[in-house]
A and B are shown apart, each in its own frame.
Chain A
Amino acid sequence: DAGVIQSPRHEVTEMGQEVTLRCKPISGHDYLFWYRQTMMRGLELLIYFNNNVPIDDSGMPEDRFSAKMPNASFSTLKIQPSEPRDSAVYFCASSLGPRGQPQHFGDGTRLSIL
């Protein structure tokens, strides 16, 4: 079975540019999560969706970040404008339920903002 698929795997762009990260969750999973991982702050939850609806976006660092889930098989995380401090590995994960079900992670997008 296909796992969570993220694209691109690596992204290098200049400060001020718009960045769009993409995620395809595991089919049948109703929950989708976006995380950011850095050396300083570890793994942090940014936002999560249930049935395509954003449930909690309290982890989104600021208005430059936005996330959408137009359908059950696709989600995007957008940063506009990007800044060097946004450099991190961004992970998408999905699960069957909110509790008592493990989250399955994609391989991540390594983002570098110059």
Chain B
Amino acid sequence: AQTVTQSQPEMSVQEAETVTLSCTYDTSESDYYLFWYKQPPSRQMILVIRQEAYKQQNATENRFSVNFQKAAKSFSLKISDSQLGDAAMYFCAWAGYSTLTFGKGTMLLVSP
């Protein structure tokens, strides 16, 4: 069975600083997708960024970028120039042929 591990239950960052959230996964499949979802307090979970495993280039979306290390099965999320609105629970997710598996999440706190 696939597993997704987010080893940081909580992270803190100051506004304008950079923070990296960690995610590792375990799979024997070669083709899959990886996602980071953001869940603000009492608001909808939304997709932040997606990475196809067959692509070597790391995905980026404005201030959000990933460091995808396929051999190490690592998929970290870097948030640059952090903003108060980035405060949320962040979930890493792995998707294979027919299964989507989420990690337990990392709560990101942003201070002024």
Partners in one complex: no
A interface with B by C-beta (< 8 Å): none
